[in-house]
Amino acid sequence: MLLFFVKGYILKVLFVNEKVKRVAKKRTKRQKAIIKRRIFLTCCTAVLIACIALIAFTVNAIIKKDKTPAKKDDGKQQSDISSAVIPETEATVLSTGDIMVHSTQLTGAQTASGDYDFSPYFKHLSSYFKAADLSVANLEVTFGGTESGKYSGYPAFNTPDSLADAIKDSGLNFLITANNHSYDTGLFGLKRTAQVLKQKGIEFIGTKEVETDPAYAVKEINNIKIGLADYTYETAGQTPGRKYLNGAIIAQEANNLINSFSYNKIDEFYAEAEKVIGEMKAQGAEFIVFYMHWGEEYQTSANTWQKTIAQKLSNLGVDMIIGSHPHVIQPVELIHSEDGQNTTVCL
């Protein structure tokens, strides 16, 4: 299940894994187990206006089947084969759009004592977060601390650590952190943001404190393994061979601390995505979700790059793509891999 914060939508994704096995009393090659897996996805969107008005819609998508029927044993009675049914299991994943603290929100969160309390902003969303098995949010601010200067909103977000407390208390338990604001408070703020999240016990992907931190996650929820990856687009810069975010040159030390891709070197991203997908599947991931920070702000339709990259990710085996950055709702699309073997839900 997915829930956008402030400028977004609500999307509910329900993962169902149903396994039915036939177990033979005498195990032979011809008496193989039947494994049937289904994934049902229900997607709901909602525009959050002022106090959050909800407009829902549903998409039932991907059904995957891996079925090998057991053969009759040359006329022998099938009574020698007993059937055992494993009950279906469900996993609900809720994911938000952009958690951002602009100057007005920063001012509104300040208390009489001078501290900051962001919990009221989550008051009407918390019940949704807590109802899901996994609640994911896109954190589009940094925790640079006072060492990085004053707390600030756009264009360089530096937010008090108490936001992390409010996030955790709200029921959100997993963050994606790769976006064009990940480097707003420089290398120090990038690392400190990761440190704060670790201290608060909030799992995250997209950025790192050190290179050995995980680049992606495979979460097992109710016996269903879901692979999660997160990437942001890079912005253009004047120095060849260097990475930029929001026009700021990224320190060489930070090159491997942010999951990012360049439109000018898109084949490098495709190669990395293929590697990550392979690793997640090797770890047993049955469903692959890519969070992509991309597109153009306030545009209600996907641009050519979004469509091109989405098609490639579908070809590579990604089951769902969840986009952020435009801050408006773009069309939900169902695309198919070029070989016809995979179907991808794009949001």
- Asked whether the beta carbons of 10 and 97 are under 8 A apart, the reply is no
User: How far apart (Å, rounded) are the C-alpha atoms in residues 156 and 185?
Assistant: 7
Return the amino acid letter for 305. W
Pick from 247, 240, 145, 253: nearest CA to 199: 145
Q: What band does 86 get if pLDDT is binned at 50, 70 and 90? A: low
Say if residue 4's pLDDT is above 50: no
DSSP helix/strand/coil, 96: strand
**Residue spans per domain, the chain:** 2-21+34-68+83-346
Query: What is the CB neighbour count within 10 angstroms for residue 239?
Result: 8
* pLDDT tens digits, 144-197: 999 999 999 999 999 999 999 999 999 999 999 999 999 999 999 999 999 999
- Asked whether the beta carbons of 231 and 324 are under 8 A apart, the reply is no
Q: Which CATH number fits domain 2-21+34-68+83-346: 1.10.860, 3.60.21, 3.40.462, 3.30.1490?
A: 3.60.21
Distance from first CA to last CA of the chain, Å, rounded? 12
Cross-strand pairs, 301:
none
What is the pTM assigned to this prediction?
A: 0.79
State the DSSP string of 173-223: -EEE--STTTTTTHHHHHHHHHHHHHHHT-EEESB-SSTTS-SEEEEEETT
Pick from 11, 5, 48: nearest CA to 289: 11
* pLDDT tens digits, 24-73: 333 333 333 333 333 333 343 333 333 333 333 233 333 343 444 445 45
